[in-house]
Every structure is written in C-alpha cells, then in structure tokens.
Amino acid sequence: MPCAGARGYHNPMDSSRRTMLAALLGCLAGAVLVTAAFWLGRDGRKPGEIPAKDAHLLAEVIGLVRQDYVDKTDDHQLMSNAIRGMVSELDPHSAFMDAEEFEDLRIATEGNYSGIGVEVTIEDNVLTVIAPLDDSPAARAGIRPGDAILSIDGKSLRNEPLGEAIGRIRGEPGTIVKLGIGRELLTQPLELAIERAIVSVHSVRYEMLEPGFGYLRISQFSETTGPDTQAAVRALEDQSGGRLRGLVLDLRNNPGGVLDAAVEVSDCFLDSGTIVSADGRAAESRFRMEAMKGDLSRGTPIAVLVNEGSASAAEIVAGALRDNGRAKLLGQKTFGKGSVQTVLPLEDGQALKLTTSRYFTPSGVSIHERGIQPDVALPSPPELAPGAQPEGEQDPEILAAVDFLKTGATTLATAQAVPDGG
C-alpha cells in the first residue's frame, strides 16, 4: 500500500494513466491559452501571451486534480477557484465574483441587502473590520473598527478569500451568524451571535444641533449619497432660516463606497480646486476630478469628524475639503485605503473587481496604508458596552466639533492640534 513520500512503488496503471494525462494536458493547455488570449484581448487591448511553461503547469495541476483527487471535482468550479486564487493574491481588495456575488455588490451600492452591515478587508491575512454601518445589526452587537473576525459559525477563517467570507456572513433576514471576534486587550476571542437583517444603503441623516449649527452624518457612499447630501444641506439651511453658522460633517466609521459619490459630496462644499487625482497603468485609470463652481453651503465653516474607521471614499472627501482649505479635520487618524477598484463585467453575469488606480489628495499625497492625520487630535472615545453608542447631542466628539466651529478650539480633554505635515 503506497504512502506519502514513498519511493520505489510501481503502479501497473502508470503507463496508461500517463498516456491519458498527456492527451488531457494538451487539451487543457490549448484551452488555457485560448482563454487567456480572449481575456487579454477584451475591449480592444492587445492580446498577451502566457508562457507555454506556465500554461502547461496550470494544465498539469488541473489534470492531476481531476484524475487523482479523492473526491470527484467539477471542471467549472476548478477554474473558478483557480481564478479566485490568482486575483485574491494581488491585493486584499481585488476579487473574482460569480453572478450571485456580482448581484450582491450591485444591490449593496444601489439599494438594500441582507446581512449584518459591516465593511471588511484583509489585513495580514486576517479578516478585519473597517467599520460597522450605522444602526446595523453589527453596530448594535458592538462590532468595532479594527476587530478581527477569526471565525464564522465556528469555522476558522484562515486563508479564506474575502468574497467567500463575506458570502458566509450574509444570509437570509432573521437567521443568525456567529462570529468569533479578536480585539486588542482581550485575552480570549469574543463570541457574538448576530441576527441578519435588511441593511439600508441610504446613508445620509441630519439634524440641527443648536441654532445655526447643523449636523450631517454620512455612514457610507452609495449612488444616492450625493443627491441625499444636497437635500440635507438645503433642509438644514431651511431650518436655520438661512446660511448656517457651522456644519459638523461626521465621517467616522464610514468605510467608503462609490468614488463618484465621494466626488459629488466634496463638490457640494467646494467652489473650485482639485477633489482627487488617480494614477494607474491603463489610460482610463489615470484621472483628475475638479470641483465645479458653486458651493452649496455658501462658505459655511465645516468641521469634519474622522477616525480609524474612516476609509477610502470617506478619506477622499476629508482630504479634498482639508487640502482646499475648506474644512478642518477632528478626531483620530483615518484607515488609509488609497486605492480604487473597478468592476469589470465578465461572461455569464460574473465580474472582476480589480484594483486599477491609486488615488492622491489634492496636495498630491497618497494616503494608502498611511491614513490622514486630523488637524485636531481628539482622544479616542471611552469603551462602550456592546450596542451602546452615544447619540447626537450626547456625543462628546460632536460637542467638541461645535466648540471648534464657535471658537477655533475645543474643550474636549487632551485635544491637541497636530503639527503641519503630520
């Protein structure tokens, strides 16, 4: 009986198997090369060539899996897994999506979806929370930015692709998902049972904090965020009886979202200047977005609240308003996601989410893996019990932002200005 690593074992079926395998490899190598040429030649791009040695290796591995793996395999699933592995190794944000995953992404940016309402990424091979969405099951359960999701329903997440992990977290409304959470200062993982629900993508809410001072909260950037922000600013001015004396723009725990929505929101408060620029290999990945004339808020002083859960599109807005001298940032250093993903539709309703650009703030700075330091550093809020969150007027950081708008300073304990260039 053969064992792993044994030498000198002769299988009488080897000759026939090699013959079958050689024929199989020839067919697979041809299929791989044809497929690669088709993909690389899409949209008028010059077709590329995969070295014959690499194509042969891929075909050889697939052939051996088909023939010798302990369970029968599905050819389509093998190729999908190969593609997932290839793309997921590029960076934490690129992913291959099947038709169901692509549809989930479309719904998540246009309407509602069923899940727990949490934005995640891969950091050092660990599924890490960027931020929970406002009033979502994840937020109510006490999920925090920076939490590590170690297991889902008791199954470890070691080396699991991002898309598959997200798929397991989502599910039908009313069902329960159990997450094992790792957190700084905790010696044991925290076990949370969270009931899935319909998560609303509409992300803008507002209120008057006191006469003349408005509060605008953006929890993420979807296709409705730009128009909703415009409507909110007009409503606040109506409630104020004219131009506001100050506006608190709250981007804390905003994990980002649609780039165009971030540009629209920035443009609401700018009369001119660069909003964001990007650089990539393809011509369409290199661009510069400029503000159009017309500041909707008519120069109202703005204090922007940020923290370690402010990422991606939220950082674009924060950087655009600060670099153009339109706002001051208060809070903690932002997350530091400075890359742009483009969704490229494929055959059969599938898609490729691919990192195509790195973006830069108007001052030309890349914040990728660095984040943005606030103008005024506020101490991190005290630890709260799961589900407990400060609201509106009781939130000390919001009160500090209003103080800053009134006086140029804040009374929040240990608040300090960050030196230029920090």
Q: What is the pLDDT along the chain (422 residues), one digit of tens a residue?
A: 333 333 333 343 444 444 333 333 334 334 343 344 334 444 444 445 678 888 889 889 989 999 999 999 998 888 888 898 999 899 988 999 988 888 877 776 665 678 999 988 888 888 999 888 888 999 999 999 999 999 999 998 877 777 788 889 988 999 999 999 999 888 888 999 999 998 876 789 999 999 999 999 999 898 889 999 999 999 999 999 999 999 999 999 999 989 999 999 999 999 999 999 999 999 999 999 999 999 999 999 999 999 999 999 999 999 999 999 999 999 999 999 999 999 999 988 999 999 999 999 999 999 999 999 999 999 887 654 444 444 444 799 999 999 999 998 776 655 555 544 43
CA angle 175, 181, 182 (to 5 degrees): 175
| Cα distance between residue 181 and residue 267, in whole Å | 38
Q: Looking at residue 21, what is its pLDDT?
A: 37
Q: Looking at residue 4, what is its pLDDT?
A: 36
Tokens for 360, please give them: 């830069």
Q: Looking at residue 2, what is its pLDDT?
A: 37
Q: Which pTM value belongs to this model?
A: 0.72
Which one, of 420, 102, 322, lies nearest residue 314 by Cα? 322
Is 346 within 8 Å of 352 (Cβ atoms)? yes
224/258 same-domain check: yes
Q: Is 141 a domain residue?
A: yes
170/214 same-domain check: no
231-235: long-range contacts, CB 8 A cutoff, minimum separation 24 = 231/204, 232/204, 232/205, 232/206, 233/268, 233/296, 233/297, 234/296, 235/206
DSSP string, 93-122: T-EEE-HHHHHHHHHHHHSEEEE--EEEEE
Residues 6+ apart with CB under 8 A from 349: 98, 99, 102, 103
Among residues 104, 134, 323, 395, the one annotated as catalytic is 323
DSSP string, 129-188: EEEEPTTSHHHHHT--TT-EEEEETTEE-TT--HHHHHHHH---TT-EEEEEEE-TT-SS
22/147 same-domain check: no
141/274 same-domain check: no
| Cα distance between residue 122 and residue 117, in whole Å | 17
Is 329 within 8 Å of 302 (Cβ atoms)? no
| Cα distance between residue 316 and residue 312, in whole Å | 6
Q: Looking at residue 108, what is its pLDDT?
A: 67
Across the strands, what pairs with 127?
A: 122, 149
Torsion of CA 215, 220, 223, 225, to 10 degrees: 0
Is 323 part of the annotated catalytic residue set? yes
220/365 same-domain check: yes
Q: Looking at residue 48, what is its pLDDT?
A: 59
Backbone angles phi, psi at 380, to 5 degrees: -60, 140
174/215 same-domain check: no
Final residue in a domain of this structure, among 167, 184, 200: 200
> What is the torsional sign of CA 148, 153, 154, 159?
negative
275/402 same-domain check: yes
208/182 same-domain check: no
Give the residue numbers spanning the domain of 30: 16-73
Among residues 328, 333, 337, 353, the one annotated as catalytic is 337
399/263 same-domain check: yes
Q: Give CA separation, 359 vs 90, 275, 276, 289, in Å.
A: 18, 10, 7, 11
Judging by DSSP bridges, how do beta strands 126-132 and 118-123 pair with one another? antiparallel
In 307-387, the DSSP E strands lie at 327-331, 339-345, 351-360, 376-377
Q: Looking at residue 24, what is its pLDDT?
A: 37
173 Rama sector, left if φ>0, alpha if ψ -120 to 50, beta otherwise:
beta
Is 278 within 8 Å of 357 (Cβ atoms)? yes
312/172 same-domain check: no
Final residue in a domain of this structure, among 200, 230, 260: 200
243/363 same-domain check: yes
CATH number at residue 183: 2.30.42.10
Final residue in a domain of this structure, among 152, 182, 200: 200
Which one, of 50, 67, 81, 79, lies nearest residue 14 by Cα? 67
170/256 same-domain check: no
> Per the structure, how many domains does the chain have?
3
Q: Looking at residue 245, what is its pLDDT?
A: 96
| Cα distance between residue 206 and residue 392, in whole Å | 10
Is 366 part of the annotated catalytic residue set? no
Q: Is 248 a domain residue?
A: yes
Q: Is 97 a domain residue?
A: no
Is 312 part of the annotated catalytic residue set? yes
Q: Looking at residue 259, what is its pLDDT?
A: 93
Among residues 312, 353, 357, 375, the one annotated as catalytic is 312
